[in-house]
Amino acid sequence: MHTPLITMLVVGLGLAFILGAVANRLNLSPLVGYLVAGIVIGPFTPGYVADQAMARQLAEVGVILLMFGSGLHFSLADLLSVRKIAIPGAVGQMTLVTLIGLGVAYAIGWPIGAGLIFGLALSVSSTVVVLRSLQDRHQLQSEQGRMAVGWLVVQDIAMILALILLPAFSGVLGGDEATADVAAGGALGFFKPDTLMEALGLTLAKLAAFFALMILVGRRVIPWILHYIAHTGSRELFRLAVLAMALGVAFGASELFGISFALGAFFAGMILAESQLSQSAAQETLPLRDAFAVLFFVSVGMLFDPTVAVREPFLVGMTVLLIVAGNAAAVFAIARLFRHSIQNALALGLTLSQIGEFSFILAGIGVELELLPESGRDLILAGAMISILVNPLLFVAAERLLPRWLKTRETGAPGEQAAEAESPELPQTSLTGHAVLVGYGRVGSLVAQTLGEMGQPYLVIEERSAIAEALRAAGTEVIIGNAAQPDMLEAANVAGARFLISAIPNPFESGNLIERARAANTALDIIARAHSDAEVDYLSKLGANKIIMGEREIARGISEHIIARANPAAEGDLGAPVGAELL
């Protein structure tokens, strides 16, 4: 292949798209499709084999952008607010799972070093999977989302320490000391530590130096550069600045301070989150981030050798059980200890019950230091792949089973617990004859005002959780999520509604919504927003009764104003100052 990068991008993204769409069609998470796409183009299946090293690097870019994006949703205060559970929680959970892994490895007859790496690899969740799963469930900014991200950060720091200490410990653990020295020298750059304490001290000092640099300097310089670039008015430059900043900080953190790309990018995002530009910065990285995150899953699929499951079915089963049940149970127990509700504890446990990128790195180093047998790495890879595959299914299962389970526990008392048991995203409305308002942005919020003044009952479907939470706090009924997703319209009881107002800008999403709403309710009055004549045609064909084209209304408003100004005698309302007539 003469152009391995282009081929990888085309085949990887293309196949991921096709199989992702198939998975979606089968009501599975598209992640399943991406992973299978990776298996198909991986070295263990016949046919085209993509360049694995390249896939891994592309995946790394995905990790950086994802962590940067989630950093943007976080402030230092958010992170500190969850430290009380995240630090003891993550440390406790990692210790527990590592010990169990060590026990299992001992039973198989592996030496202690192998067991330690095996256990540790099974105890660190995949950042990418956690963030994707929180994003999909719109819970990144919820308390549970904050706890999960705090937990990830602690795991991440623990992992950095482990990666640096392992080579130093390798001799003691029965690994290859000569390799250990080389690896330790490599990991720590120019400095080759003589003693373990020196290595540990140096690592901690580098971590502290990085945090201090980011908080003291990065916090001022990064927003300043972005403000400056924003003033040039060039969107292209702004996008470039955001991207360069995210990648640059991640790279610098790893090269200069020995910190993972992921943690470096997370901090870069968090520093930006303090400035007002963070929202637009986040938007700028979205499309790139999503594309590269897909490549992450493809690259994981490529590592997977399906024959392992046939060769070692029992061990693979044990590994998966340890990852899924072990982590979920440990997190659940710790969260319950900290007095979180059953539902929150379970959701947090499930969120963290898979492994990924760090485990691969750890397994790789373990094999390199001759601490972990090759079969250990295969087990870790197989376990990671399967745990990522089953993770979304576990959520579906929990959402189906948990409400029932909680109800049987609380028989006869449909109090707080029962209300809590219902999925927070999809409470079924009890309204009838109501208006369903989709989108609460510049348009929807003004329409809501009118509905409120008229006394027309309504509910809102909105995907930005910050807006939705604020509305809910103000007493408005809200369904959080993308209205184009299945079940949304049923939850909003469109079949029994009087109006559907589609106040969202994307014509395809709006069209999809209108088509399904019309199918569910032929008498529904559907009012939609459009931005071009083509959109007006499209939406009316799908069943909208009234379509308001934004630009036409703006032009009408401007024209009316000019006419009124030109003929003061003809208009009575000239007293109003310009700009006061918003509606």
* Binding-site ranges for ligand AMP (CB under 6 A): 438-444, 461-464, 467, 482-484, 503-506, 509
In whole angstroms, how close is the CB of 488 to ligand AMP at the nearest point? 8
Q: Which is nearer to ligand AMP, 404 or 442 (CB)?
A: 442
Q: Answer yes or no: are the C-beta atoms of 355 and 61 closer than 8 Å.
A: no
In whole angstroms, how close is the CB of 274 to ligand AMP at the nearest point? 23
Q: Helix (H, G, I), strand (E, B), or coil: what is residue 527?
A: strand
Q: Which is nearer to ligand AMP, 59 or 471 (CB)?
A: 471
The tokens describing 84, both together, are: 């009380």
Query: Per-residue DSSP letters for 276-329?
Result: TTHHHHHHHHHHHHHHHHHHHHHHHHHH--THHHHHSHHHHHHHHHIIIIIHHH
In whole angstroms, how close is the CB of 527 to ligand AMP at the nearest point? 14
Q: Which is nearer to ligand AMP, 330 or 479 (CB)?
A: 479
Backbone angles phi, psi at 191, to 5 degrees: -90, 130
Q: Which is nearer to ligand AMP, 391 or 465 (CB)?
A: 465
In whole angstroms, how close is the CB of 135 to ligand AMP at the nearest point? 14
In whole angstroms, how close is the CB of 516 to ligand AMP at the nearest point? 12
The tokens describing 350, both together, are: 């499930």
Query: Per-residue DSSP letters for 225-286?
Result: HHHHHHHHT-HHHHHHHHHHHHHHHHHHHHHHH---HHHHHHHHHHHHTTSTTHHHHHHHHH
In whole angstroms, how close is the CB of 443 to ligand AMP at the nearest point? 4
CA 100 to CA 330: how far, in whole Å? Answer: 11
In whole angstroms, how close is the CB of 362 to ligand AMP at the nearest point? 39
Q: Which is nearer to ligand AMP, 60 or 509 (CB)?
A: 509
Distances (CA, A) of 52 to 4, 121, 302, 313, 514: 10, 21, 7, 25, 44
Q: Which is nearer to ligand AMP, 11 or 548 (CB)?
A: 548
Cβ neighbours around 572 below 10 Å, total:
8
The tokens describing 378, both together, are: 């295969």
Q: Answer yes or no: are the C-beta atoms of 303 and 360 closer than 8 Å.
A: yes
Q: In what order do the strands lie in the sheet with 435-438?
A: 477-480, 458-462, 435-438, 499-502, 525-530, 546-549
Q: Which residue has the tokens 């290859």?
A: 176
Q: Helix (H, G, I), strand (E, B), or coil: what is residue 127?
A: helix
CA 306 to CA 348: how far, in whole Å? Answer: 29
Q: Which is nearer to ligand AMP, 346 or 443 (CB)?
A: 443
Q: 539-546: long-range contacts (C-beta < 8 A, 24 or more apart)?
A: 539/502, 539/507, 539/510, 539/511, 539/514, 542/511, 542/514, 542/515, 542/518, 543/514, 543/515, 543/517, 543/518, 544/502, 544/514
In whole angstroms, how close is the CB of 480 to ligand AMP at the nearest point? 9
Q: Answer yes or no: are the C-beta atoms of 530 and 550 closer than 8 Å.
A: yes
Query: At 529, which helix (H) or strand (E)?
Result: strand 525-530
Q: Which is nearer to ligand AMP, 188 or 443 (CB)?
A: 443
In whole angstroms, how close is the CB of 446 to ligand AMP at the nearest point? 9
Q: Which is nearer to ligand AMP, 57 or 445 (CB)?
A: 445
Q: Which is nearer to ligand AMP, 280 or 482 (CB)?
A: 482
In whole angstroms, how close is the CB of 87 to ligand AMP at the nearest point? 34
In whole angstroms, how close is the CB of 473 to ligand AMP at the nearest point? 16
The tokens describing 530, both together, are: 């459009």
Q: Which is nearer to ligand AMP, 16 or 461 (CB)?
A: 461
In whole angstroms, how close is the CB of 530 to ligand AMP at the nearest point? 12
Q: Which is nearer to ligand AMP, 174 or 441 (CB)?
A: 441
In whole angstroms, how close is the CB of 460 to ligand AMP at the nearest point? 9
Residue nearest to ligand AMP (CB): 441
Q: Which amino acid is at 503?
A: A
Q: Nearest to residue 563, comparing CAs of 571, 555, 573?
A: 571
Q: How would you label 235-270 residue by residue, b for 16+ Cβ within 10 Å and e otherwise?
A: eeebbebbbebbbebbeebbeebbbbbbbbbbbbbb
Task: Note the residue count of the chain.
Answer: 583
Q: Which is nearer to ligand AMP, 322 or 504 (CB)?
A: 504
Q: Which is nearer to ligand AMP, 335 or 467 (CB)?
A: 467
Q: Answer yes or no: are the C-beta atoms of 294 and 16 closer than 8 Å.
A: yes
Maximum Cα–Cα distance across the chain: 97
In whole angstroms, how close is the CB of 506 to ligand AMP at the nearest point? 6
CA 131 to CA 152: how far, in whole Å? Answer: 10
